[in-house]
Amino acid sequence: MSVPMSLIVAVFLPLLLSPLILLTGKRPNLREAVTLLIGAGTFLVVLSILPEVMAGRRPEIELLQVMPGLVLGFRVEPLGMLFGMVASGLWIVVSLYSIGYMRGHHETDQTRFYFFFAVAITAAIGVAFAQNLLTLFIFYEVLTLSTYPLVTHARTPEAMRGGRIYMGILISTSVLFLLFAIIWTWSITGTLEFQEGGILAGKASEGVICVLLALFAFGTGKAALMPFHRWLPAAMVAPTPVSALLHAVAVVKAGVFTIMKIIIYIFGLDLLRETDMSVWLMYVAGGTVVISSLVAMTKDNLKARLAYSTVSQLAYIVLGAALATDLSVIGGSMHIAMHAVGKITLFMCAGAINVALHKTEISDMVGIGRQMPITMIAFLIGSLSVIGVPPFGGAWSKWYLALGAVSADQLIFVAVLMVSSLLNIAYLMPIVVRAFFNPRTNPGNLAAATDDHGHHDGIHEAPFFCVMPLCLTALGCIILFFFAGDLYRLLLPLTGH
């Protein structure tokens, strides 16, 4: 199969084969086997493109000419390659996890869930491999629409309310801001192509470019910059596999990926480096990092705490883009992968706790480390990676971000990163301490020695298909630390080197 054909297959394979999920819906084992095979096939096709990108080539294919100079097409560069691998690779892990979670939690409409999950992955890979802003915008919107049924999966009043907030914020920001910015860029430059060095330099005044930057930054609502972040905590009404999709695999990563790609290929790093046009965005991102971490500390619900943690961690990536130095761009881009693997581990642990012990509030999780040791060790590893402690992957992305802030002479953001890491410790590590070191019950009280659902003290892990995936991603947090050099080499061309 030729490389251009691989691009088409990588993007559309999940969509084209998703009807098989519907056709096998009455046979759950077969349905889930089909889902896993589609996921594995998609990942292998995406991976087959990697050698071309590492060799410095940029495979591309045009599907349709909309008008002269404006096409729908795909082109793979290093940042898109990274996001494509993250989305397609973690889809397999989340699919495995979904088998244990959806069955263990006795969720209804599981076929619909797997179907829309496949459509969402097509949209995510379409965003990753988009050749221009038009292609990116189309798949960006498909991603929003295809994940709405997942957010509202439970069909409860709470789920529908969360879905309305989700759709309301994401659609309004993309139509009012992002689409307007794309049309304005077309009118200024006559092109929407992603080009090395950017397309805006010398085409507009600094004031216009500042306004465009604001429109792109806030129009990309999936990046969850404050004050357009409320959709993300609201979406926590969805099942945990959907939370993993939103926070690690596709949705939020599509947001920060879009901002990073636009800054590199539309504005150009040199344009932002030589002016102060992105300084305001640095402060918005820095404020989001700190404020959302402080909010996370106040949340007793585990998924809500992790949701605000995600808002904070996404802002790291936006900060790296706004700093516009070589190291900050590499660090921010690397954080797409590092955070994805760490945060998906934490969300899958939260879901496993809910399935096994039916606990969602942190205050109720005293001593659960003795009942679910594997899950909570994985939670510890994911937490240490998010905090940025060696030898876990998050240490490298935060290191490069800090070096990027130093090279931009923005030492205040080194302080922001340090304070944020301390806040990460403050809202994540007490969960581990509570699980392993706080006494769960009064040993003299037999009634207290069981939980609300009658489970006695002892090992009580979630089903195998819940536990195995979170062990894989916890291991991934360690593997990424030792293979960060390969990620660095993949991402280095983003800086023009």
The answer to whether the beta carbons of residues 61 and 4 sit under 8 Å apart is yes
Q: Which two tokens stand for residue 177?
A: 């801001």
Residue partners of 27: CB distance under 8 A and separation at least 6: none
Q: What is the distance between the alpha carbons of residues 161 and 328, in angstroms, rounded to a whole number?
A: 38
Judged against a pLDDT cut of 60, whether residue 455 lies above it is answered with no
The encoded tokens of residue 82 equal: 């990274």
Strands 70-75 and 60-67 come out as antiparallel
Q: What is the residue-averaged pLDDT of the chain?
A: 90
17-34 burial: b if 16+ Cβ within 10 Å, else e: bbebbeebbeeeeebbeb
Taking the domains of the chain in order of start, what are their residue ranges?
Answer: 278-497
Question: For position 444, what pLDDT does the model report?
Answer: 39
Asked whether the predicted pLDDT for residue 286 surpasses 60, the reply is: yes
SS3 361: strand
Residue whose structure tokens are 């084209």: 16
Both tokens assigned to 322: 């706004």
pLDDT of 460: 85
Helices 394-407 and 302-323: crossing angle, nearest 10°? 40
Is residue 454 over pLDDT 60? no
φ, ψ at 60 (rounded to 5°): -150, 160
Task: Round the CA-based radius of gyration of the chain to a whole number and report it.
Answer: 22
Over the stretch 217-243, which tens digit does the pLDDT of each residue have? 999 999 889 998 888 888 777 777 777
* Mean pLDDT score, 34-55: 95
Which residue, among 401, 286, 419, has the nearest Cα to 334 in the 3D structure? 401
Q: Average pLDDT of 381-404?
A: 95
Contact status, residue 165 vs residue 231, Cβ threshold 8 Å: yes
Tell me the mean pLDDT in the region 24-29. 89
* Range with the largest mean pLDDT of 1-5, 150-154, 384-388: 384-388
- Least confident stretch, 134-138, 239-243, 271-275: 239-243
Residue 263 tokens read as: 């800054």
First to last CA, the chain: 30
Q: What's the rounded Cα separation, in Å, for the pair 159 and 116?
A: 17
Alpha-helix runs per DSSP H in 156-234: 157-173, 179-189, 206-219, 231-234
In sequence order, the 6+-apart residues with CB closer than 8 A to the CB of 360 are 301, 302, 303, 350, 353, 354
Q: The pTM is what?
A: 0.92
